[in-house]
């Protein structure tokens, strides 16, 4: 049965505000455990278990304070996860894993839905006019806060936009967002695999490494990482791939605060083991 948007559970906050709640923790701040890269059933490569209530349940079980919903080239399930998290200690940021024309994946993070949806409109305009083949790529499902099916998203998401790395980064930053190149240690869809280096003028505060190795191992294996700050996210396509290793010390849940923390060694930690 198709679930209409009007049937979604009501939240303590208007839906337009769910991605822009600001918490001020004073000058000392607090440590925030986060996983800023996870997929829902909107991403055709994600398992059917990646629905809002189960994502929120898993995040809370891991002790996460902040997650970002980052489907491939899409934000259409962000509000559903935010609604599922309403009334819990978990904050859900809107985001996206965008694919550039170099076939490099970039995390695009925002602290408000309006900016994320403005970015979505630009991404939509930059994608080729191709339709998804569910038999080949998998289904692309838009769901409600309970995980009930709303509709199929028919345009193909597993493809490159027309944006270069520099163009995508500049546009996200101009919208008040933040870019982190994804899983730079992976042999595909990463800066190091596709470019062979980290652009020296890259306007990003950190790089992401996959969950398969430690920061020390990543730096030893890829000397070109140099002194770049590193974060570690789950890139979860299954619930058991969500992780809670990265901690940042924030005075407020905002993109500028996250950017500042990522650039300060005393405010960034990755728990090993």
46 neighbors 139 (Cβ within 8 angstroms): no
Structural domain contains residue 150 = yes
Mean per-residue pLDDT over the chain, rounded: 92
Residue 174: in which H helix or E strand, if any?
Answer: helix 165-174
13 part of a folded domain = no
Q: What percent of the chain has pLDDT over 90?
A: 89
Kindly tell me the number of DSSP H helices and DSSP E strands found in the chain: 8, 11
Is residue 37 domain-resident? yes
Does 147 fall in a domain? Answer: yes
- pLDDT tens sequence across 107-158: 999 999 999 999 999 999 999 999 999 999 999 999 999 999 999 999 999 9
Asked, for residue 4, whether it belongs to a domain, the answer is no
User: Does 120 map to a domain?
Assistant: yes
What is the C-alpha to C-alpha distance for residues 193 and 185, in angstroms, rounded to an integer? 8
CA 126 to chain centroid = 19
The answer on pLDDT for 203 being more than 60 is: yes
Domain span holding position 123: 22-270
Residue 7 maps to a domain: no
The neighbouring-strand residues paired with 142 are: 151
- What is the pTM (predicted TM-score) of this model? 0.91
Instruction: Answer yes or no: is 3 within a domain.
Output: no
Average pLDDT over residues 95-107: 98
Q: What is the DSSP letter of 3?
A: P
Query: How many beta carbons lie within 10 A of that of residue 28, not counting itself?
Result: 7
- Closest-CA residue to 68 (of 104, 93, 48): 93
Q: What is the CATH number of the domain that holds 55?
A: 3.20.20.140
Is 60 exceeded by the pLDDT of residue 21?
no
Domain tally for the chain? 1
């Amino acid at each position: 049965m198709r679930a209409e948007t009007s049937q979604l559970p009501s939240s303590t906050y208007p839906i337009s505000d769910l991605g822009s709640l600001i918490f001020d923790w004073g000058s000392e701040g607090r440590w925030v455990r986060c996983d800023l890269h996870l997929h829902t059933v909107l991403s055709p490569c994600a398992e059917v278990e990646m629905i809002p209530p189960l994502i929120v349940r898993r995040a809370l079980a891991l002790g996460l304070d902040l997650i970002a919903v980052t489907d491939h080239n899409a934000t259409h399930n962000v509000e559903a996860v935010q609604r599922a998290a309403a009334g819990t200690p978990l904050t859900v940021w809107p985001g996206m894993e965008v694919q550039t024309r170099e076939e490099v994946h970039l995390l695009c993070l925002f602290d408000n839905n309006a900016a994320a949806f403005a970015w979505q409109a630009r991404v939509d305009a930059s994608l080729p006019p191709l339709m998804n083949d569910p038999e080949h790529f998998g289904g692309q499902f838009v769901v409600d806060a309970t995980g009930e099916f709303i509709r199929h998203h028919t345009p193909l998401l597993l493809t490159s936009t027309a944006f270069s790395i520099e163009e995508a980064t500049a546009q996200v930053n101009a919208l008040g967002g933040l870019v982190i190149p994804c899983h730079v240690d992976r042999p595909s869809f990463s800066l190091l695999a596709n470019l062979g280096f980290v652009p020296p003028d890259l306007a990003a505060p950190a790089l992401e490494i996959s969950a398969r190795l430690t920061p020390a191992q990543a730096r030893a294996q890829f000397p070109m990482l140099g002194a770049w700050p590193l974060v570690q996210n789950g890139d979860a396509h299954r619930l058991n791939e969500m992780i809670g290793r990265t901690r940042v010390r924030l005075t407020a849940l905002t993109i500028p605060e996250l950017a500042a923390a990522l650039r300060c060694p005393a405010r960034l930690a990755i728990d090993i083991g």
